[in-house]
């Protein structure tokens, strides 16, 4: 018998994906902004109260659209957490922004709201909070600062579908927000993303940027009688094939979320006592936030302990992984970085570990992962 192997991620198929793709293909309209694209967008607008939703080919693309919409120019400053995925910073760097890296909270990898104000200068244009693991940043504090200094707030909600802050959907609070439907996210289309627009000022221009700088979307609605080049932009919209796949996923959103949250709780319950005994911290969900079952992470007491747990699990066929390397210490940025030490971000880089997490993970498999984790004995060297 093959020895057991539990991967870190396994993209879930609801079973309708290929059926809808076939429909899209047979409809004869397979480029972007067709029936499936509009179904997905309307569903997300209605469910989460976005003023406008536009499907994109990735969250990275949606963030690039945000950088264009925010009119980021050379030398403008954008505040981004260091403990995040590359795209959160990259999208703004491409527009010439100077990235000001913020540290994470001591109790959560999200941006430390208390330390944001000191990073604001007359050149600051935007703050980009990341809802790490789908757990909300304290948005009231961030929006208050944005009002005070006249800044834009762009939510990196890549991991935050169907999660809430004081009852408000994430992605509906900032002026703009970006979601990901990459295969590692709760709802996936292989590659895919969404731009959510919550500020009227950006609605018209967002469609133009989305459609290669043309007013094609307006033309197809019959609002103008010819279309042409009116602004900058790119080809940010996905084909109907991707939207059809995504629709099959969105139809099952509630079921997907329910199971993922169950998985999370099974891990949490099973590991709580073990974690305390071993100096490992399990996730903290603040009162104002919900848990959307995006991932299960733990913060080990040292890099050494983290790496030992990963190898222990791997020896037993279980693929646990670490996560981001602080962006201010990346090969690309290290030599350009002039800010303070970011102690928390470095701590999460060194000590955070993520356990296998996907819809089809069975109760028995989770139990096994818990038991094998508990069987870990630290070697002091």
Ligand X SMILES: *Cc1c(COP(=O)(O)O)cnc(C)c1O
Are the CB atoms for 313 and 372 separated by under 8 Å?
yes
Q: Minimum Å distance from CB 188 to ligand X?
A: 9
The only residue of 14, 37, 41, 58 in contact with ligand X, by rule CB under 6 A: 58
Specify the stretch interacting with ligand X by CB under 6 A; choose among 42-50, 82-90, 244-252, 333-341: 82-90
Distance (Å, rounded) from C-alpha 151 to C-alpha 244? Answer: 36
- Under rule CB under 6 A, residue 130 binds ligand X: yes
Specify the stretch interacting with ligand X by CB under 6 A; choose among 41-49, 153-161, 269-277, 304-312: 153-161
Q: Minimum Å distance from CB 110 to ligand X?
A: 10
- Under rule CB under 6 A, residue 249 binds ligand X: no
Distance (Å, rounded) from C-alpha 123 to C-alpha 121? Answer: 5
Specify the stretch interacting with ligand X by CB under 6 A; choose among 85-93, 96-104, 211-219, 326-334: 85-93
- Under rule CB under 6 A, residue 40 binds ligand X: no
- Under rule CB under 6 A, residue 326 binds ligand X: no
The only residue of 193, 233, 283, 356 in contact with ligand X, by rule CB under 6 A: 193
40, 155, 159, 237, 286 from 46: Cα distances, Å:
10, 19, 20, 20, 27
Distance (Å, rounded) from C-alpha 371 to C-alpha 381? Answer: 24
- Under rule CB under 6 A, residue 156 binds ligand X: yes
The footprint of ligand X on this chain (CB under 6 A) covers a number of residues equal to: 14
Distance (Å, rounded) from C-alpha 48 to C-alpha 111? Answer: 23
Are the CB atoms for 65 and 209 separated by under 8 Å?
yes
Helices 240-250, 253-278: inter-axial angle, 10-degree rounding: 70
Q: Minimum Å distance from CB 181 to ligand X?
A: 7
Residues near 255 by beta carbon (within 8 Å), at least 6 away in sequence: none
- Under rule CB under 6 A, residue 182 binds ligand X: yes
Q: Of 371, 63, 75, nearest to 234 (Cα)?
A: 63
Q: Count of CB atoms within 10 A of residue 219's CB?
A: 15
Q: Minimum Å distance from CB 56 to ligand X?
A: 8
The only residue of 37, 82, 124, 159 in contact with ligand X, by rule CB under 6 A: 159
The only residue of 33, 172, 180, 249 in contact with ligand X, by rule CB under 6 A: 180
Phi-psi sector, 134: left (phi>0), alpha (psi -120 to 50), beta: left
- Under rule CB under 6 A, residue 109 binds ligand X: no
Cα angle 181, 22, 16 (rounded to 5 degrees) comes to: 55
The only residue of 37, 60, 82, 249 in contact with ligand X, by rule CB under 6 A: 60
Query: Which residues of this protein are in contact with ligand X, per CB under 6 A?
Result: 58-60, 84-85, 87-88, 130, 156, 158-159, 180, 182, 193
């Amino acid at each position: 018998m093959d020895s057991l192997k539990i991967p870190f991620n396994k993209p879930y198929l609801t079973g309708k994906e290929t059926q809808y793709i076939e429909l899209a293909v047979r409809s004869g309209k397979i480029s972007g902004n067709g029936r499936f694209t509009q179904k997905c967008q309307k569903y997300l607008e209605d469910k989460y109260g976005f003023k406008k939703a536009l499907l994109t080919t990735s969250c990275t693309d949606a963030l690039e659209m945000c950088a264009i919409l925010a009119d980021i120019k050379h030398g403008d400053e954008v505040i981004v957490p260091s403990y995040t995925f590359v795209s959160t910073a990259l999208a703004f760097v491409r527009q010439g922004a100077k990235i000001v890296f913020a540290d994470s909270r001591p109790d959560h990898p999200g941006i430390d709201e208390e330390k944001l104000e000191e990073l604001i200068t007359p050149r600051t244009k935007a703050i980009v909070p990341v809802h790490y693991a789908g757990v909300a940043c304290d948005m009231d504090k961030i929006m208050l600062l944005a009002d005070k200094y006249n800044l834009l707030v762009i939510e990196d909600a890549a991991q935050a579908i169907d999660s809430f802050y004081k009852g408000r959907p994430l992605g509906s609070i900032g002026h703009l927000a970006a979601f990901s439907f990459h295969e590692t996210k709760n709802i996936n289309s292989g590659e895919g993303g969404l731009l959510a627009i919550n500020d009227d000022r950006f609605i018209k221009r967002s469609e133009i940027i989305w459609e290669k700088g043309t007013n094609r979307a307006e033309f197809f609605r019959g609002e103008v009688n010819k279309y042409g080049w009116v602004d900058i932009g790119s080809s940010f919209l996905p084909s109907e094939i991707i939207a059809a796949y995504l629709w099959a996923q969105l139809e099952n959103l509630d079921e997907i979320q329910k199971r993922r949250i169950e998985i999370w709780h099974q891990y949490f319950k099973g590991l709580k006592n073990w974690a305390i005994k071993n100096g490992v911290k399990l996730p903290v969900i603040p009162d104002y936030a919900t848990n959307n079952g995006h991932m299960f992470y733990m913060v080990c007491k040292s890099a050494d302990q983290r790496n030992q747990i990963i190898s222990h699990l791997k020896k037993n066929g279980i693929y646990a992984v670490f996560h981001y390397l602080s962006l201010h210490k990346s090969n690309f940025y290290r030599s350009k970085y002039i800010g303070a030490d970011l102690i928390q971000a470095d701590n999460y880089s060194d000590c955070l570990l993520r356990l296998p997490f996907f819809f089809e993970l069975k109760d028995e498999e989770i139990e096994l992962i818990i038991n094998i984790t508990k069987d870990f004995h630290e070697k002091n060297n």
